[in-house]
Amino acid sequence: MAEFNGTPHNTAKVGDIAKTVLMPGDPLRAKFIADTFLDDVKQFNNVRGMLGFTGTYKGVPVSVMGSGMGMPSIGIYSYELYNFYGVENIIRVGTAGGMVDSLDLFDVVLVDGAYSKSTYAKVGFGYWEDIQKPSEKLNRAIESAAKKLGKKVTKGLIESSDTFYSDPTVVKKSRYELLCAEMESFALFANARHLGKNAACILTISDSMIKKAETTAEQRQTAFTDMMEIALNAAITL
């Protein structure tokens, strides 16, 4: 059998990546998490600038890797982690735009389901449902970690959109009550479902469509530490 030498997108070897991976969209946020929270850090990937690191958190191996923006991008990276590297759990740690008045900037949302009009799940795996669900096991671990840390999370249904910019005159209606919008979770959950793995998503509100407020680019890389700590403390229990 030929030796496995990575994929076109990841040069890591089997064993370089922990069974649980935190996955921000921004590779620089992955580096920030590794530099700030992990010990004994080793970089395992830099292909296309998509940084990946493995270290330990409170003595437990944890990896962190960027996913890029959008469902096709996280679809590739998460599928490879699950399918080629033996990863069992991926926790997306991302940003989202608030869609309800009750959410303020920096609030933390735990995704209970990702609604999308995307064809990712249908074309890839024959899943016709317009909502893909996270792992109940991971969500319980995240809720438990948040409670122990004394950090508030709001749990609910979110939207995974294929568009960041769109025509404001185009009417966008959903029959669901959606807390916020991002661009990745639907594909991540579909991959996990297909491969029999676990996925979850915890988000920080970086801007509000209702309140017309937003965070800076620097804050999006480094200021969302509540979400990161919750995810890390959940990861070490898995």
Give the pLDDT confidence score for residue 166 in this predicted structure.
79
Question: E strands of the chain, at which residues?
Answer: 20-23, 39-45, 52-57, 60-65, 89-98, 108-115, 131-132, 154-160, 180-182, 198-208, 213-214
In a domain, 53, yes or no: yes
Interatomic CA distance for residues 52 and 81, integer angstroms? 11
**Encoded tokens for 131:** 């909502």
Residue 121 lies in a domain: yes
pLDDT of 91 > 80? The answer is yes
67-84 in b/e form (b: 16+ CB < 10 A) is: bbebbebbbbbbbbbbee
CA gap 139, 156 in Å, rounded:
11
The residues carrying an active-site annotation are: 207
On whether residue 8 sits in a domain, the answer given is no
Residue 58 covered by a domain: yes
Within a domain: 108? yes
The total domain count for the chain is 1
Report pLDDT digits (tens) over 114-158.
999 999 999 999 999 999 999 999 999 999 999 999 999 999 999
Q: Read off the CATH number of the domain in which 160 is found.
A: 3.40.50.1580
Residues pairing with 7 in the sheet? 10
The 10s digit of each residue's pLDDT in 21-79 is: 999 999 999 999 999 999 999 999 999 999 999 999 999 999 999 999 999 999 999 99
Tens-place pLDDT, residues 148-198? 999 999 999 999 999 888 777 776 667 789 999 999 999 999 999 999 999
Domain assignment present for residue 146? The answer is yes
Q: Quick one: which H or E segment has residue 218?
A: helix 217-222
CA distances from 121 to 62, 192, 220, 226 (A): 28, 11, 28, 30
Would you state the pLDDT for residue 50? Answer: 97
Note down the domain range covering 31. Answer: 20-235
